[in-house]
Chains A and B, each alone.
Chain A
Amino acid sequence: MKLTYNAPVVLTFSLISTLVLLVDTVTGCSEANFMDCTLKPYFMTRGVFDFGNPMDYFRLVSSTMGHANWAHLLGNFSIILLIGPMLEEKFGSLSLLFMMVVTAIITAILDIMFWDHGGLGASGIVFMMILLSSFTNFKSGTIPLTFILVVILFIGQEVVRAFQDDNISQFAHILGGIFGAIFGFISGPKQVSTQTATQSKPPVNPQL
């Protein structure tokens, strides 16, 4: 028995995010002002974008790896670690990485365009993965009922919550979900149909 780094993208993403929060926790960091933290200022968007500041380009992606506290981090990664490896196996590491980066960048850009607060957290990616996972048995020419239900349950709920007073970015959730749906429709049928064809022939077990 040996440990395997079975889902490189998901695991690396998780480890970096944990490391960022760990450093800020160890060095002391107020939740009231993240800009005073050691690493969080580099792992959150600022609400504004300076085209001449290279760090702002980095923040478009890195903001998904910054988290406010351990509850925030655990909430996101309990889902990412649950369904991420399955998605990485199904769609491939590079494809999943591409989906995560695109989701992060566009969500961050739209967030900056619409609102002037900073943002951090991986839940845009979480929702992208949730919607994407509803396409796991997506066959060409069909619509998975699970997709419809997931949209209603997860995204519909986020729309309602968006009008509540809290500091949760439902905007990122909704956008992430939309990207998950788009990625699922674009890449789902080909991937699944190929895999289904492979899986339809179960390996022969000589012991049976």
Chain B
Amino acid sequence: MMNKKVLFFLPLALLAAMLWLTDGLDAFAHQKVRKADTARLLVDISGQATMDDMDWVCVQDTLGHHVQEVIENRKSTRNLQFGVDVANLSDTPEGHLADTGFHLKMDFIQIGIDQNILEIFAELEQRGLQISAFSEENGVLTASLSGSLAHPQHPGERVALSNTQVRVKWTPYGQTWA
């Protein structure tokens, strides 16, 4: 007859082993973060995270992963918004923007549930940016961005960018249901 304590702790040990075998709590946490009810996809120039004080969370998707696959189980996909922020341009050749502490924030891009990340980039391109040199490492999408953006506060002006690194990550922005 098996010891009572062994039988009690065996299931717990099995659970712990399963968690450990699947890259542990860290991976578990990353997966959970993606379970946000709503989420924003942010584009961060040159790795300068300035959006609120939200923690950056790596996207687990490979490039071109269908957004729908990521969000299909979320209950409010219709309301999913993707924000695009172009911030802290001081590291770019167009560093003059940093002189004014300028924070360029593009309008939210409302995407459909069947759009994927490539289409989001395509929409950026429609706004006057050329995006190239995609890569993905540790769940972070990076792309090189060139071109110009319409100045959101000074109509008619454009903000030039040249080979500026873009990082794309998911951020948690919602609730989970228990």
Contacts and interface: CB of A to CB of B under 8 A. Distances in A.
A112 B28 CA distance: 15
Contact of B70 (A159, A165, A168): A165
A173 B176 contact: no
Task: Tell which of B38, B75, B78 has the most Cβ of chain A within 10 Å.
Answer: B75
Nearest to A33: B38
Contacts, number: 132
A142 to B, nearest CB: 8
A109 to B, nearest CB: 14
Interface string B33-61: 11111100000000000000011000000
Nearest to B4: A143
Contacts of B54: 116
B29 A115 contact: yes
A195 B93 CA distance: 79
Contacts of A142: 4
Contact of A34 (B18, B35, B175): B175
Contacts of A169: 32, 35, 176-178
Contacts of B38: 32-33
A162 interface: yes
Given A143-B4, A164-B73, A168-B177, A114 B29 contact: yes
Contacts of A148: 7, 11
Interface residues of A, number: 49
Nearest to B76: A32
A122 B35 CA distance: 18
Contacts of A166: 35, 73-74
A203 interface: no
Interface string A38-58: 000000100100000000000
A31 B76 contact: yes
B135 interface: no
Nearest to A116: B172
Interface in B142-156: none
Interface of A: 30-34, 44, 47, 63-64, 67-69, 72, 107, 114-124, 141-143, 148, 151-152, 155-156, 159, 162-169, 171-174, 178, 181, 185
Interface of B: 2, 4, 7-8, 11-12, 14-15, 18-19, 22, 25, 27-29, 31-38, 54-55, 69-76, 78-79, 172-178
Closest 4 CB pairs of A and B: A121-B178, A32-B79, A166-B73, A172-B178
Given A165-B73, A166-B73, 15 more contacts: A31-B37, A31-B75, A107-B178, A114-B32, A117-B32, A118-B174, A120-B178, A143-B8, A155-B15, A163-B27, A165-B31, A166-B74, A168-B178, A172-B176, A181-B8
